[in-house]
Amino acid sequence: MYRTHQLITSPAPGRGSNRPRARFSSDAVEIDLGGQWRFRYHPRADRAPELPERGDDTIAVPGMWQLQGYGAPAYTNVTYPFPVDPPHVPDANPAGDYQRDVELPEDLAGRRVLLRFDGIDNAAAIWFNGTWVGETKGSRNTHELDVTAHARPGRNDLRVRVVQWSASSYLEDQDMWWLSGIFRPAAVLLRPALAIDDLRVRADLDVATGSGTLTVEVESEDPVPRISLVGVEVGTIRAGEPVTIPKVRPWSAEDPHLYTLRVETAGESAEVRIGFRTIDISGAQLRVNGVPVRFRGVNRHDHHPDRGRAVTLEDIRTDLLLMKQHNVNAVRTAHYPPLPGLLDLADELGLWVIDEADFESHGFVEIGNRANVADDPAYEDALVDRMQRMVARDRNHPSVILWSLGNESGPGRNIERMRQAALDLDDTRPIHYERDWTFEHSDLMSLMYTPVDVLERIGRFDADAGTASGARANTVGKRSLAEAAALAPKPFVLVEYAHAMGTGPGGLREYEELFRCYPRLQGGFVWEWIEHGLATTAPDGQPRYGYGGDFGEAVHDGNFVADGLLAPDRTPRPGLLDVKAVYAPVEIRVDAAQATITNRYERSDTSALAFVAQWSDASGVVTEEPLEVPSIAPGEHVRLPLDPPDGAALVTVVARLAQPAGWADAGHEIAFGEQLLGTPAVRPPLPERWQIEDDSLVAGGVRLEGPTLGAWRAPTDNDRAVRQVELGSTSEAAAWAALHLHAPGGRTTRLDRDGDAVHLSRRWGFAGRDVGFTEDTHARQHGGVLHLDTHFVPFGPWPVDATVPRLGLDLELPGLGAQTRVRWFGRGFHHTYPDTGSGMRLGWFDGTVTDLQEHYLRPQDNGVRSDVRALWIEHGEHWLQIAGEPFSFSLRPWSDSELDAAAHPDELGETGRLVLSLNAAVHGVGSAACGPGVLPQHRLRPTPAELHLQLAVVSA
């Protein structure tokens, strides 16, 4: 009891671990302890026996027990899921007793035996052969415990009691699932006598001369370790003494050149991959090797839908390869240090890393910051320990260029202590911390979700930034936050932006333009990489991804946990393709006669790229020819003439990798630019006669019911979010609901027939409201083609700031379903809204209705295809063809209301019909779920709009 009680209640760091040290691989023996362990779950730690039990159950290590049948996952964003009473936690505090046998060799030959745990959530006490040997706190920190005194050859008994909650839970309030267990690898290390106890490498670059200075500090009982740089002749390298190498190839995210350092002592031989680079801040710019850094970043959490935070190196590799393939050049390890393997890969593939300490105490804001652990002396040692563990482990990695003190923990004396602890171990990297708005303890200015108008002023060092529209209300002393940010002579990063929740994020392009324009704005990190949906089942047994509230939580934050560029199974969302286009390191602009190519790499020319021009004819047949592009220096551009062949309807210039890179094959597409030159070919109509009624359009077996006014959408996560700034404390969805846009009612005011022509006028309003749109539709047919020309004009006293989610005609196609095939010329393949879709190119695209849907964890409007000039929908033996001036459409087996009513995609089934929305205009999506709303230029006001369409039945 005593030990567990102490483990739970003490705000101090864990006990009994060795001093933290660097991670490196060597020839010393490591025994992986992954696999099935014996397990016993205790619903209350205070009722468990003193010594952890050897349970009858088994459990996977690494793993999280809530995902293996014990307890349940719980999700909160900011709120602590227990009463805030630091350092205490409730009695209902489960414990998991882990036991396994550890086989040690007969001959330990003077080796020390260490246990190494890379991650145990939340706190653990460890027994070896019946003796308590220490405890761990800091769920995402590595702990090594020396058990030599208790170890014996043959079978040893290792027991670990893990508690779900402890005093240190107050330090781990990150926005993610609350999950517990030994979730990162565990190992036994057999450390030889005269081993390398620690290793510190400094590999600086002299920017002026190109020389490198290498200093290797070795901690060992061997007084003369042998050190060499593989393949480089540098004479003798003595531990602790700098050596200069006249010419080195520097490391950067764009050219991640690594050298292999070999260190040998009498007991151990290690190889470490190192990179030469120098970080400094000059003129309010963060530079590496003298060149300012431009973060095209993402925030990444560990997540797997079956295993929670127990991710494998394969999961990490998948993530980092996807990042590189999508032009991402930086990752923030939100909000804790990653598995060390992530940093090895970042070194190798080339990613700038902000390595963040395992600290967030955001929940204290909900109680007025009373007793925030960031300022509580009782937590000082624990926070310093977290910082030291990260820096000591990770400081040899060239990819890590900033240390971050944690996330959203407010100001406090412990923040300063953490900074100092980091600098004591490593003064080569600047420090980042966003949530102390004096920025006293941060070498950079850093904010989250800043609106573009405020950011622009920060870029200009404009003291009026604080009064810009949309500035956050936060203040630092008498200054507004934005004003403070604008004035301080420090580099600026947007450490979180473009909240990728549900359909979106909108407005990426506008941020990018500012980053390009203002040297002080050094880019940002999209929030976030992956949606944290957990695999579970619906009541009827169908698989689904669960979010907050799906696991019986009393307090939760719903689907706010699902806000990533990847679906939980790591399938890219459309937003990732937009990120790829916006982050592209070359910008290609095309008009009919020429292509302008601008190099946006920080430091590389374009010689790694091959360019082609693709010419597409009206039917979509593509020919391709290489484009000779001279190598372009960073920041420079070239203009090249283009020579369209006869009949070219679309030209696309594509940049691809000329050679394989470590992260993609040769030919991998990096960027594209395009220009429409003609119109897509449509098929000749079948000579069918159209019957035009005010509630249906029928021709040759094709039946379209409607049209009716479409002026609503199933609100997206962004539409549903309450935005103080732009919307005066309401949400778009609430504003639309107040206008009852989902409940249109129409009245025919004119129906004239003149031979084959029909003139239909209707007045559309909304239940209980006196605003609406008049619709004037002129329909005439000619040789099987039905020409529909519709004009919408708003009427009535619309609220001044009113927006409408879309404006168009909705039709139902009875008898069609999810397998119906669709073909269109427009943007694709994925959806596009006015402020998204940079990654979607023009062309002909095919798919089924199912393929058109983007299933976010909570259903919402999605799947709108824009800039469409031709659309075909399979209908029995024929196709319905809709051509016209650019319009947008969605096609689904359910109505907007049905889509909106569902809480999970599995609740949406076949309905025996398709709903086709043909939109004249659509409202943007923004990123209001946690950020700015839709920018003015992408907002759809109740203004006049037009649709000009030609419908025909065509043969297959």
Binding site for ligand GAL (CB under 6 A): 77, 175, 335, 407-408, 448, 496, 499, 527, 563, 930
Find, among 585, 590, 614, the residue nearest to 600 by Cα.
585
Is 483 annotated in the active site?
A: no
C-beta separation of 849 from 893 below 8 A: yes
C-beta separation of 340 from 390 below 8 A: no
* Rounded CA separation 868/925 (Å): 19
Is 408 annotated in the active site?
A: yes
If the CB atoms of residues 39 and 547 are measured against ligand GAL, the closer one turns out to be 547
If the CB atoms of residues 562 and 915 are measured against ligand GAL, the closer one turns out to be 562
| Residue 900 CB, nearest approach to ligand GAL (Å) | 22
If the CB atoms of residues 356 and 426 are measured against ligand GAL, the closer one turns out to be 356
| Residue 91 CB, nearest approach to ligand GAL (Å) | 29
Three-state SS string over 365-422 comes to HHHCCCCCHHHCHHHHHHHHHHHHHHHHHHCCCCCEEEEECCECCCCCHHHHHHHHHH
Find, among 915, 912, 924, 857, the residue nearest to 889 by Cα.
915
| Residue 933 CB, nearest approach to ligand GAL (Å) | 15
Beta pairing partners, 652: 614, 674
User: What DSSP string describes 508-548?
Assistant: HHHHHHHHHH-TTEEEEEES-SB---EEEE-TTS-EEEE-T
C-beta separation of 653 from 682 below 8 A: no
How many CB atoms lie under 10 A from the CB of residue 330?
Answer: 27
Which residue's beta carbon is nearest to the bound ligand GAL? 175
| Residue 478 CB, nearest approach to ligand GAL (Å) | 25
Q: Which of 360, 408, 434, 854 is catalytic?
A: 408
| Residue 331 CB, nearest approach to ligand GAL (Å) | 14
| Residue 746 CB, nearest approach to ligand GAL (Å) | 40
| Residue 353 CB, nearest approach to ligand GAL (Å) | 17
C-beta separation of 474 from 490 below 8 A: no
DSSP annotation of 117 reads E
Find, among 373, 396, 398, the residue nearest to 386 by Cα.
373
**Distance set, CA 870 to CA 617, 623, 822 (Å):** 14, 21, 11
DSSP annotation of 48 reads S
If the CB atoms of residues 319 and 896 are measured against ligand GAL, the closer one turns out to be 319
* Rounded CA separation 13/286 (Å): 33
Who contacts 310 (Cβ-Cβ below 8 Å, separation ≥6)?
62, 63, 64, 181, 183, 184, 302, 304
Residue 653's H or E segment, with its range, is strand 648-657
How many CB atoms lie under 10 A from the CB of residue 51?
Answer: 14
| Residue 560 CB, nearest approach to ligand GAL (Å) | 6
Determine the angle formed by the axes of helices 380-394 and 413-425, rounding to 10 degrees.
30
Six-digit token string for 4: 């567990």
Which class for 86: exposed (0-12), middle (13-18), buried (19 or more C-beta within 10 A)? buried
Cα 564 to the center of its chain, rounded Å? 4
| Residue 505 CB, nearest approach to ligand GAL (Å) | 11
Q: Which of 264, 416, 456, 496 is catalytic?
A: 496
How many CB atoms lie under 10 A from the CB of residue 753?
Answer: 11
* Rounded CA separation 443/490 (Å): 7
SS3 667: coil
SS3 681: coil
If the CB atoms of residues 511 and 615 are measured against ligand GAL, the closer one turns out to be 511
First-last CA distance in the chain? 76
Who contacts 513 (Cβ-Cβ below 8 Å, separation ≥6)?
none
C-beta separation of 475 from 416 below 8 A: no
If the CB atoms of residues 496 and 861 are measured against ligand GAL, the closer one turns out to be 496
| Residue 930 CB, nearest approach to ligand GAL (Å) | 4
If the CB atoms of residues 125 and 494 are measured against ligand GAL, the closer one turns out to be 494
If the CB atoms of residues 397 and 499 are measured against ligand GAL, the closer one turns out to be 499
Six-digit token string for 410: 């407010």
C-beta separation of 15 from 176 below 8 A: no
Alpha helix stretches (DSSP H) within 547-675: 574-582
| Residue 299 CB, nearest approach to ligand GAL (Å) | 7
User: What DSSP string describes 862-876?
Assistant: ---EEEEEEEEEEET
If the CB atoms of residues 169 and 917 are measured against ligand GAL, the closer one turns out to be 169
**Distance set, CA 69 to CA 164, 241, 307, 468, 537 (Å):** 15, 54, 12, 51, 14
| Residue 451 CB, nearest approach to ligand GAL (Å) | 15
Amino acid identity, residue 719? D
How many CB atoms lie under 10 A from the CB of residue 410?
Answer: 17
Find, among 510, 514, 506, the residue nearest to 575 by Cα.
506
If the CB atoms of residues 404 and 598 are measured against ligand GAL, the closer one turns out to be 404
If the CB atoms of residues 434 and 812 are measured against ligand GAL, the closer one turns out to be 434
If the CB atoms of residues 384 and 930 are measured against ligand GAL, the closer one turns out to be 930
How many CB atoms lie under 10 A from the CB of residue 29?
Answer: 14
If the CB atoms of residues 204 and 496 are measured against ligand GAL, the closer one turns out to be 496
* Rounded CA separation 757/643 (Å): 44
| Residue 545 CB, nearest approach to ligand GAL (Å) | 17
Catalytic site positions: 408, 496
